[in-house]
């Protein structure tokens, strides 16, 4: 049973979005369900701070031993920070997807795009839980 914390927002592509203390900045990672489907994650390719993406733009890739998946930016914006800890320990995504396994912090170009995301209930329904 995959963990789907209430209070976060989700995409059908299995990313989550968490608001931060800065209302214009969100934290993004992949869901517990996604990490479970991929299996042991061995590598993540993340953008540098300052890179900008449109909504649904590919911001990186995540690789397991026998699977690879592109990461789609749930929102448009500019990268504030990528999680450097993942470079040395990509397994953090498996162990703690919603915590230390976060991937990027993004300064949104249009916070209005948040309304297009799913809540925990809707995402749970989407993955059949």
Partner 1 sequence: MTEPPAAAYTLLRTDRFVARHIGPRRTDIHDMLGVLGYASMDQFIDAVVPEDIRLRRPLDLPPNRSEREVLQALRGIAAQNRVFRSYIGMGYYGTFTPQVIQRNILENPGWYTAYTPYQAEVAQGRLEALLNFQTMVADLTSLPVANASLLDEATAAAEAMHLTGSVKRVTGTPEYLVDPGCHPQTIAVVRTRAEAQGVNVRVVAADDMVFGAATIGCLVQYPATDGSVQDFAPLCTRAHLTGAVVTVATDLLALTMLTPPGEWGADIAVGNSQRFGVPMGYGGPHAAFFSCRDAYKRHMPGRIIGVSKDSSGRMALRMALQTREQHIRRDKATSNVCTAQVLLAVMASMYAVYHGPDGLRRIAERVHTQATMLADALRRLRYHVVHEHFFDTVCVEVRSANLQRILDAARDRKINLRVLDSHHLCVALDETTSVADLSDLISVFSLDVALPYMLGSGAVSPEPIPPALARRSVYLIHPVFHRCHSETEMLRYIKRLEAKDLSLTAAMIPLGSCTMKLNATTEMMPVSWRELNRLHPFVPLSQAQGYQLLFNQLETWLAEITGFSRVSLQPNAGSQGEYAGLLVIRAYHRARGDVHRTTCLIPMSAHGTNPASAVMAGLTVVPIATDERGNVDLADLRAKAEMHCDTLACLMVTYPSTHGVFEASIREICRTVHDHGGQVYMDGANMNAQVGLCRPGDFGADVCHLNLHKTFCIPHGGGGPGMGPICVAPHLAPFLPDHPVVPQGHAQSCGTIAAAPWASAAILPISYAYIALMGHDGLAEATKVAILSANYIARRLADHFPILYSGTNGLVAHECIVDMRPFKQSAGIEVEDIAKRIIDYGFHPPTVSFPVPGTLMIEPTESEPREELDRFIDALIAIREEIREIEEGRAPRENNLLTNAPHTLVQVIGDVWDRSYTRERAAFPAPGLREHKTWPTVGRVDGAYGDRNLVCTCPPMAEYGAT
| Site residues, partner 1 (CB under 8 A) | 39-43, 45, 63-68, 90-91
Q: Which of 33, 23, 12, 22 is nearest to 98 (CA)?
A: 33
CB of 128 to partner 1, least distance (A): 12
Cβ 46 to partner 1, closest distance in Å?
A: 13
Q: Are 44 and 69 in contact (CB under 8 A)?
A: no
Q: CA of 42: how far to CAs of 28, 49, 65, 67, 73, in Å?
A: 19, 22, 7, 10, 21
Distance CA 3, CA 21 (A): 23
- Cβ nearer to partner 1, comparing 52 with 109: 52
Of 63 and 113, nearer to partner 1 (C-beta) is 63
Judged by beta carbon, residue 39 or residue 116, the one nearer partner 1 is: 39
- Minimum distance, C-beta of residue 23 to partner 1, in the bound complex (Å): 35
């Amino acid at each position: 049973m995959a963990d789907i914390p209430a209070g976060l927002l989700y995409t059908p592509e299995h990313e989550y979005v968490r608001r931060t203390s800065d209302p214009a900045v969100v934290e993004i990672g992949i869901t517990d369900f996604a990490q479970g489907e991929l299996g042991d994650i061995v590598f993540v390719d993340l953008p540098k701070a300052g890179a900008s993406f449109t909504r649904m733009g590919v911001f990186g890739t995540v690789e397991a031993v026998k699977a690879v998946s592109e990461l789609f930016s749930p929102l448009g914006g500019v990268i504030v920070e990528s999680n450097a800890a993942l470079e040395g320990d990509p397994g953090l995504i498996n162990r703690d997807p919603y915590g230390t396994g976060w991937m990027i912090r993004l300064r949104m170009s249009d916070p209005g795009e948040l309304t297009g995301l799913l809540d925990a209930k809707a995402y749970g329904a989407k993955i059949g839980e």
